[in-house]
């Protein structure tokens, strides 16, 4: 007849295991708690742009649209539309987002699962401007310097 042992260890080993569990549980709980606290990250720093024509002259009253998104954290992007001042200048404020470590870890996985190899990652921003049939754009990726001069060129329309 086979006999089954309910406990595979002696009483001293069981005490050591429970002590280890009792010590590790608070550490695990604190780790989970800390991974759920959101902290702020800059998506795009403050961006001062001068819109100029092909001769380098400032273009006042031109439409300027900034779009931005942190692809690793957000599902949807944001945008602001404004006009240049009399000197052709526009300033976009610093764009930030709050996200927890868990969201920062799971976000890229979600992006990849939804979009596969077309998924975008990290912060990204672009600015588009137009006036009187002319247009131009600037692009920003994290870690690269901001460009501050946007040149309007003749729009290539598809006929």
Sorted by where each begins, the domain ranges of the chain are: 39-154
Q: Each residue of 91-112: pLDDT tens digit?
A: 999 999 998 888 888 877 777 7
Q: What is the pTM of this model?
A: 0.74
- pLDDT confidence band for 158 (50 / 70 / 90): very low
> Fold for domain 39-154?
Immunoglobulin-like (2.60.40)
Q: Nearest to residue 131, comparing CAs of 65, 79, 80, 68?
A: 65
Residues 29 and 24: their CA atoms lie apart, in Å, by 9
């Amino acid at each position: 007849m086979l006999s089954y042992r309910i406990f595979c260890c002696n009483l001293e080993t069981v005490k050591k295991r429970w002590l280890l569990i009792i010590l590790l549980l608070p550490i695990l709980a604190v780790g989970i708690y800390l991974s759920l606290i959101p902290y702020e990250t800059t998506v795009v720093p403050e961006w001062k742009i001068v819109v100029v024509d092909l001769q380098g002259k400032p273009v006042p009253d031109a439409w300027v649209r900034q779009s931005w998104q942190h692809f690793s954290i957000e599902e949807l992007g944001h945008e602001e539309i404004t006009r240049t001042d009399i000197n052709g200048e526009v300033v976009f404020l610093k764009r930030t987002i709050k996200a927890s470590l868990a969201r920062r870890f799971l976000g890229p996985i979600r992006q990849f699962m939804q979009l596969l190899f077309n998924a975008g990652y990290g912060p990204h921003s672009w600015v588009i401007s137009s006036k009187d049939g002319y247009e131009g754009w600037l692009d920003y990726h994290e870690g690269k310097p901001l460009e501050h001069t946007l040149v309007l060129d003749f729009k290539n329309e598809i006929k």
